[in-house]
């Protein structure tokens, strides 16, 4: 009986001490909305160190593709991994009607910084709508009244 008491006591002490040495991994904090729902997926590498990814908006229950993003020298996230968009800011350009954005990205699972990407063209217009750009939200295409194409 005394043997079992010592054995159970030492097992209990070992269990308590084993729990002290183990540190729980804290989940990586999510970026603020709407960036928490923006991801780069389906990345493919091409010649000359160019990587093309699809910018998507949404959750695992439903995703909306915004368009392709190309970047030179993007750090590879590995097969099947995604990039998480951390933040975006508008970049000035000569033609104000079309927005451009530079977005900071990280590897989604590890949280490692992966650099930045330039979002332009139709992908940037769709991103501007998600980010709440009033000019892009209220824009409606109208034919040019000065056009001479149909004369």
- Which residues are bridge partners to 101 per DSSP? 90, 119
139, pLDDT greater than 80:
no
> Strand 62-72 vs strand 38-46: parallel, antiparallel, or unpaired?
unpaired
Task: Assign 59 to helix, strand or coil.
Answer: strand
Has residue 119 been placed in a domain?
yes
pLDDT of residue 126: 92
Has residue 11 been placed in a domain?
no
Has residue 56 been placed in a domain?
yes
| 68-119 tens-digit pLDDT | 999 987 766 565 568 999 999 999 877 777 889 999 999 888 888 989 999 9
Confidence of residue 145 (pLDDT cuts 50, 70, 90): confident
DSSP state letter for 36: G
Has residue 95 been placed in a domain?
yes
| 34-81 tens-digit pLDDT | 999 999 998 888 888 888 999 999 987 889 999 999 998 776 656 556
User: How much is the average pLDDT of 130-141?
Assistant: 82
Token representation of residue 68? 């392709």
pLDDT of residue 150: 66
Q: For residues 2 and 50, which has the higher predicted lDDT (pLDDT)?
A: 50
Q: Can you list the positions of beta strands (E) in the chain?
A: 38-46, 50-59, 62-72, 83-91, 100-107, 113-119
Neighbours of 9 (CB within 10 A): 10
pLDDT of residue 75: 66
Distance CA 71, CA 68 (A): 10
Has residue 151 been placed in a domain?
no
Has residue 58 been placed in a domain?
yes
- Which residues are bridge partners to 51 per DSSP? 45, 71
pTM of the predicted model as reported, rounded to 2 decimal places: 0.72
Confidence of residue 143 (pLDDT cuts 50, 70, 90): confident
Has residue 104 been placed in a domain?
yes
CA 137 to chain centre: 22
Has residue 6 been placed in a domain?
no
Q: What's the domain count of the chain?
A: 1
Q: Residue 144 to residues 117, 124, 137, 147, 150: CA-CA distances in angstroms?
A: 33, 23, 20, 5, 11
CB 93 within 8 A of CB 102: no
User: Residue 44's domain spans which residues?
Assistant: 35-137
- In 3D, which of 131, 135, 60, 80 has the Cα closest to residue 101? 131
């Amino acid at each position: 009986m005394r043997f079992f008491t010592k054995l159970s006591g030492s097992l209990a002490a070992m269990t308590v001490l084993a729990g002290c040495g183990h540190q729980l991994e804290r989940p990586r904090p999510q970026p603020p909305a709407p960036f928490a729902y923006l991801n780069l997926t389906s990345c493919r590498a091409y010649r000359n160190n160019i990587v093309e990814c699809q910018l998507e908006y949404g959750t695992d229950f439903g995703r909306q593709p915004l368009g392709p993003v190309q970047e030179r020298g993007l750090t590879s996230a590995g097969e099947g991994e995604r990039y998480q968009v951390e933040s975006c800011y508008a970049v000035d350009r000569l033609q104000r009607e079309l927005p451009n954005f530079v977005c900071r990205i990280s590897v989604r699972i590890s949280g490692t910084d992966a650099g930045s990407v330039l979002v332009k063209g139709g992908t940037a217009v769709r991103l501007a709508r998600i980010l709440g750009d009033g000019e892009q939200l209220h824009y409606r295409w109208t034919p040019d009244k000065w056009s001479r194409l149909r004369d």
